[in-house]
């Protein structure tokens, strides 16, 4: 089974700020590596919007960035109590 860790660089679909993210790819879909594509939902650290990133597993090239439906839960802020 193939596994890889990729560094993705892309611009947020909402605010257009640059984002960098590391993704760990493994599993059944890796059998066609390096021709496979995968998707990840990554929240923008600048504006908080969710992005759907489609990328090539072999090269790490980002092929599409689009706004994702808000499927990613927002980080909770601990109370000061």
The 37-43 sheet, strands edge to edge: 37-43, 50-56, 62-67
Please tell me the pTM assigned to this model. Answer: 0.74
Instruction: Check if the beta carbon of residue 12 is closer than 8 Å to that of residue 67.
Output: no
Residue 72 lies in a domain: no
Query: Domain of 44?
Result: 3-67
Residue 29 burial (CB count, 10 A): 13
| pLDDT, position 1 | 60
Question: Rounded distance, CA 18 to CA 16, Å?
Answer: 7
10 is written with which tokens?
Answer: 């892309």
pLDDT tens digits for range 49-73: 999 999 988 888 999 999 987 555 5
Q: Do the domain assignments include residue 73?
A: no
Question: How many independent structural domains does the chain possess?
Answer: 1
Is residue 80 situated within a structural domain? no
CA neighbor of 38 nearest in space, from 70, 1, 6: 6
């Amino acid at each position: 089974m193939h596994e890889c860790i990729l560094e993705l660089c892309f611009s947020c679909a909402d605010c257009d700020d640059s984002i960098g993210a590391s993704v760990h790819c493994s599993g059944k879909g890796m059998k066609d590596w390096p021709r496979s594509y995968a998707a990840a939902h990554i929240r923008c650290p600048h504006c908080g919007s969710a992005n759907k990133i489609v990328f090539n597993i072999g090269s790490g090239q980002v092929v599409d960035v689009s706004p994702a439906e808000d499927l990613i839960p927002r980080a909770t802020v601990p109370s000061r109590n």
